[in-house]
Protein backbone atom coordinates (compact mmCIF):
# COMPACT_ATOMS: atom_id res chain seq x y z
CA UNK A 1 0.00 0.00 0.00
CA UNK A 2 1.35 3.40 -0.93
CA UNK A 3 0.89 6.72 0.82
CA UNK A 4 -1.21 8.06 -2.01
CA UNK A 5 -3.88 5.38 -1.69
CA UNK A 6 -7.05 6.20 0.20
CA UNK A 7 -8.62 3.27 1.99
CA UNK A 8 -11.96 4.81 3.01
CA UNK A 9 -12.95 5.82 -0.50
CA UNK A 10 -12.88 9.64 -0.01
CA UNK A 11 -11.01 11.63 -2.63
CA UNK A 12 -10.64 15.38 -2.92
CA UNK A 13 -12.18 16.38 -6.19
CA UNK A 14 -12.11 19.69 -8.02
CA UNK A 15 -15.53 20.78 -6.74
CA UNK A 16 -14.32 20.24 -3.15
CA UNK A 17 -11.51 22.72 -3.74
CA UNK A 18 -13.90 25.14 -5.44
CA UNK A 19 -16.39 25.03 -2.52
CA UNK A 20 -13.57 25.46 0.03
CA UNK A 21 -12.19 28.51 -1.82
CA UNK A 22 -15.64 30.08 -2.24
CA UNK A 23 -16.43 29.56 1.46
CA UNK A 24 -13.03 30.95 2.48
CA UNK A 25 -13.47 34.14 0.45
CA UNK A 26 -17.13 34.45 1.52
CA UNK A 27 -16.03 34.51 5.17
CA UNK A 28 -13.31 37.11 4.40
CA UNK A 29 -15.77 39.32 2.50
CA UNK A 30 -18.42 39.02 5.24
CA UNK A 31 -15.95 39.98 7.98
CA UNK A 32 -14.67 42.93 5.93
CA UNK A 33 -18.25 44.09 5.28
CA UNK A 34 -19.02 44.01 9.01
CA UNK A 35 -15.86 45.98 9.87
CA UNK A 36 -16.40 48.56 7.10
CA UNK A 37 -20.03 49.08 8.15
CA UNK A 38 -19.05 49.49 11.80
CA UNK A 39 -16.27 51.93 10.89
CA UNK A 40 -18.50 54.09 8.72
CA UNK A 41 -21.29 54.19 11.28
CA UNK A 42 -19.01 55.19 14.15
CA UNK A 43 -16.81 57.69 12.28
CA UNK A 44 -17.75 58.71 8.75
CA UNK A 45 -14.40 60.46 8.24
CA UNK A 46 -16.05 63.84 7.97
CA UNK A 47 -14.71 66.34 10.46
CA UNK A 48 -16.55 69.32 9.04
CA UNK A 49 -19.51 69.77 6.76
CA UNK A 50 -17.82 72.81 5.18
CA UNK A 51 -14.10 72.01 4.97
CA UNK A 52 -13.29 74.56 2.25
CA UNK A 53 -14.92 77.43 4.13
CA UNK A 54 -13.22 76.28 7.34
CA UNK A 55 -9.87 76.43 5.56
CA UNK A 56 -10.56 79.98 4.40
CA UNK A 57 -11.56 80.99 7.92
CA UNK A 58 -8.39 79.40 9.29
CA UNK A 59 -6.26 81.35 6.80
CA UNK A 60 -8.01 84.57 7.86
CA UNK A 61 -7.37 83.70 11.50
CA UNK A 62 -3.66 83.17 10.75
CA UNK A 63 -3.54 86.58 9.06
CA UNK A 64 -5.18 88.21 12.11
CA UNK A 65 -2.69 86.48 14.41
CA UNK A 66 0.23 87.75 12.32
CA UNK A 67 -1.13 91.31 12.44
CA UNK A 68 -1.67 90.95 16.18
CA UNK A 69 1.91 89.75 16.69
CA UNK A 70 3.15 92.90 14.92
CA UNK A 71 1.26 95.04 17.45
CA UNK A 72 3.23 93.53 20.31
CA UNK A 73 0.36 93.86 22.75
CA UNK A 74 0.19 91.49 25.72
CA UNK A 75 -2.79 90.66 27.90
CA UNK A 76 -3.19 89.26 31.39
CA UNK A 77 -6.59 88.17 32.65
CA UNK A 78 -7.57 87.45 36.22
CA UNK A 79 -10.52 86.10 38.15
CA UNK A 80 -11.32 88.77 40.72
CA UNK A 81 -13.99 88.36 43.40
CA UNK A 82 -17.30 89.02 41.59
CA UNK A 83 -15.49 90.30 38.45
CA UNK A 84 -13.15 89.48 35.60
CA UNK A 85 -10.23 91.81 34.87
CA UNK A 86 -8.04 92.09 31.77
CA UNK A 87 -4.91 94.24 31.59
CA UNK A 88 -3.50 95.05 28.15
CA UNK A 89 -0.07 96.57 27.60
CA UNK A 90 1.80 97.45 24.43
CA UNK A 91 5.28 96.30 23.33
CA UNK A 92 6.96 98.80 25.70
CA UNK A 93 4.78 97.79 28.66
CA UNK A 94 2.63 100.92 28.61
CA UNK A 95 -1.11 100.44 29.18
CA UNK A 96 -3.27 100.44 26.07
CA UNK A 97 -6.13 102.89 26.63
CA UNK A 98 -9.50 103.49 25.05
CA UNK A 99 -10.18 100.06 23.63
CA UNK A 100 -13.62 98.86 22.64
CA UNK A 101 -13.79 95.58 24.45
CA UNK A 102 -16.02 92.50 24.13
CA UNK A 103 -15.78 89.10 25.68
CA UNK A 104 -17.45 85.79 26.35
CA UNK A 105 -17.20 83.45 29.32
CA UNK A 106 -17.98 79.80 28.73
CA UNK A 107 -17.50 76.54 30.60
CA UNK A 108 -14.71 74.41 29.09
CA UNK A 109 -16.91 71.35 28.61
CA UNK A 110 -20.18 72.89 27.45
CA UNK A 111 -21.64 75.94 25.79
CA UNK A 112 -24.60 76.00 28.17
CA UNK A 113 -24.68 78.95 30.54
CA UNK A 114 -22.29 81.13 28.55
CA UNK A 115 -21.97 84.71 29.81
CA UNK A 116 -21.29 87.93 27.94
CA UNK A 117 -19.56 90.25 30.41
CA UNK A 118 -19.59 94.01 29.77
CA UNK A 119 -16.11 95.45 30.17
CA UNK A 120 -15.32 99.01 31.17
CA UNK A 121 -11.93 100.66 31.55
CA UNK A 122 -11.38 100.95 35.32
CA UNK A 123 -7.92 102.49 34.99
CA UNK A 124 -5.54 102.95 32.05
CA UNK A 125 -5.14 99.56 30.37
CA UNK A 126 -7.30 97.68 32.92
CA UNK A 127 -10.70 96.50 31.72
CA UNK A 128 -13.09 95.06 34.32
CA UNK A 129 -16.48 93.37 33.97
CA UNK A 130 -18.60 92.73 37.06
CA UNK A 131 -19.94 89.20 37.49
CA UNK A 132 -22.25 87.79 40.09
CA UNK A 133 -22.07 84.32 41.57
CA UNK A 134 -19.53 82.83 39.18
CA UNK A 135 -17.63 79.83 40.52
CA UNK A 136 -15.44 77.16 39.02
CA UNK A 137 -13.46 77.05 35.80
CA UNK A 138 -14.38 79.26 32.83
CA UNK A 139 -12.80 80.06 29.47
CA UNK A 140 -12.63 83.77 28.63
CA UNK A 141 -12.47 84.73 24.96
CA UNK A 142 -12.12 88.45 24.29
CA UNK A 143 -11.50 90.99 21.57
CA UNK A 144 -10.16 94.48 22.02
CA UNK A 145 -9.99 97.07 19.27
CA UNK A 146 -8.46 100.51 19.30
CA UNK A 147 -9.62 103.63 17.43
CA UNK A 148 -7.33 102.77 14.48
CA UNK A 149 -9.07 99.41 14.01
CA UNK A 150 -6.19 97.33 15.34
CA UNK A 151 -7.64 94.13 16.75
CA UNK A 152 -6.36 92.05 19.65
CA UNK A 153 -7.90 88.63 20.38
CA UNK A 154 -7.03 86.23 23.16
CA UNK A 155 -8.30 83.32 25.21
CA UNK A 156 -7.60 82.63 28.86
CA UNK A 157 -8.77 79.99 31.34
CA UNK A 158 -9.90 81.48 34.64
CA UNK A 159 -10.88 79.86 37.92
CA UNK A 160 -13.10 81.32 40.62
CA UNK A 161 -13.29 79.70 44.07
- Is the model's pLDDT at 107 over the cut of 70? yes
Would the pLDDT of 122 be above 70? yes
pLDDT of residue 70: 86
Q: Which of 3.30.310.40, 3.40.50.300, 2.60.40.1220, 3.30.70.20 would CATH assign to domain 73-160?
A: 2.60.40.1220
The structural domains of the chain, with segments of one domain joined by +, span 73-160
Mean pLDDT of 150-160: 89
The string of pLDDT tens digits covering residues 29-70 is 999 999 999 988 887 677 788 889 998 999 988 988 888 888
27 phi and psi angles, rounded to 5 deg: -65, -45
Amino acid sequence: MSLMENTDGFRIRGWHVLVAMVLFFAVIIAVNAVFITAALRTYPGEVSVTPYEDGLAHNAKLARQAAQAELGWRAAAGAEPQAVAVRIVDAEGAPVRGLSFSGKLQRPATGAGALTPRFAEAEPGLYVAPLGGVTGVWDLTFQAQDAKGQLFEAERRLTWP
